[in-house]
Amino acid sequence: MKNVVQIHRKLAPELIALIEDRYNILRHVNYSQPIGRRALAQNLGIGERVVRAQVEFLKNAGFLEFSSLGMTITADGEKLLRDSEGYINELHGLDMLEAELANKLGVKQVIIISGDSEADTTVKRELGRAVVNILGQYLTEEMVIAVSGGSTMAQVAEVTSFSASKTTVVPARGGLGEQVEYQANIIAAVMAAKLGGTYRLLHIPDGMSEEALDVILANDANANTVIEMIKHANILIHGIGRALDMAMRRSCDAPIADEIVRRGAVGEALGYYCTLEGKCVYVTSSVGLRLDDLADIGLVIAVAGGRKKAEAIIAVTSAGGQDVLVIDEAAAKAIKAII
């Protein structure tokens, strides 16, 4: 594949941009189908005339189909999309960057998805699909999966596409006061439904006092059972957030949010706020998994995207405990520029 890319660069560099355009069109149609040309052009940020010419080629080649509802991708188009990933990764130098970041961040494996999830919504879905692919490699029957909340994690649940009927999915920690579809409980339920498995929910919000938590746990046997399942999860999948953003999502009082920033926190995961060097400087009061529990979990997968999260990703991975990091190209290049 490396030789093919080098030949294209030398003999037909104009083809590379064309290939990328057609690849991006297939990817957008795959996740947004059925979709019209105008909507596709708006999503891609290119002219409708350019889109019309490219989709006509892809239709004639048998990769797209047109109907009154819009364009859809064919089975051949889906196969071409999968087969093109290696070429696109090599074109962007992602394989080498994956190895470099894994070494510098101290993570066993880094997977980079081409593109920028901040600018292209399909990239966030690709992040989710990459996580699901890893999950499929490791998941066996009767495992427990713990999941955190967040918009990227919601995509992970949504694109889960295989069956594991004896699997149980649980939220990794107590809930946040955020959009319902991004809450860990909802994500656990959606993923379990996709897997054909079961789920257990934890109805204890973040931010409660230690005294209030003690009262709840002393009187709620179900909560204690779920917490034990979380602590003994086989696989953890979690997102990574920017410290100040997460403090706001958790509705922290302004003085607490200011203190988190003053202490140098730039990243957050599982309620732990970390500095760029990986030092934990603040912890949200909650139940569920803690950073020091990660060593006992068989597989820990972290997923995040966008250049704005570069420092947060460095902070959380520096804190340790991550096995696999799934990020997009924009985040990867921003991380490289920092470290």
CATH number where 66 lies: 1.10.10.10
pLDDT at 318: 96
Number of H helices and E strands in the chain, helices first, is: 15, 13
Residues 249 and 331 in one domain: yes
User: Among 34, 57, 90, where does a domain finish?
Assistant: 90
pLDDT at 209: 63
Residues 21 and 99 in one domain: no
Number of domains within the chain:
2
What pTM does this model have?
0.87
Residues 28 and 137 in one domain: no
Residues 123 and 252 in one domain: yes
User: Among 40, 62, 90, where does a domain finish?
Assistant: 90
Prior bond to 13 cis, omega within 30? Answer: no
Residues 230 and 285 in one domain: yes
User: Among 65, 90, 115, where does a domain finish?
Assistant: 90
Residues 272 and 125 in one domain: yes
pLDDT at 173: 85
How far is residue 68's CA from residue 36's CA, in Å, rounded to a whole number?
9
Residues 143 and 202 in one domain: yes
pLDDT at 222: 78
pLDDT at 254: 79
Give mean pLDDT in consecutive 10-residue pieces for the chain, a chain of 339 residues.
Answer: 71 82 93 92 87 94 94 95 88 91 96 93 93 93 92 95 93 73 92 96 72 69 85 95 86 80 94 95 84 89 97 96 96 97
Rounded to 5 degrees, what are φ and ψ at 308?
-65, -20
Residues 76 and 156 in one domain: no
Residues 75 and 110 in one domain: no
Amino acid 196 reads G
Q: Please enumerate in sequence order all residues whose Cβ is within 8 A of that of 251, keeping only pairs 6 or more positions apart, or say none.
A: 177, 207
CATH number of 126's domain? 3.40.50.1360
Residues 61 and 163 in one domain: no
Residues 85 and 115 in one domain: no
Residues 86 and 100 in one domain: no
Domain that holds residue 61: 2-90
Instruction: Please give the span between the terminal C-alpha atoms of the chain, in angstroms, as a whole number.
Output: 29
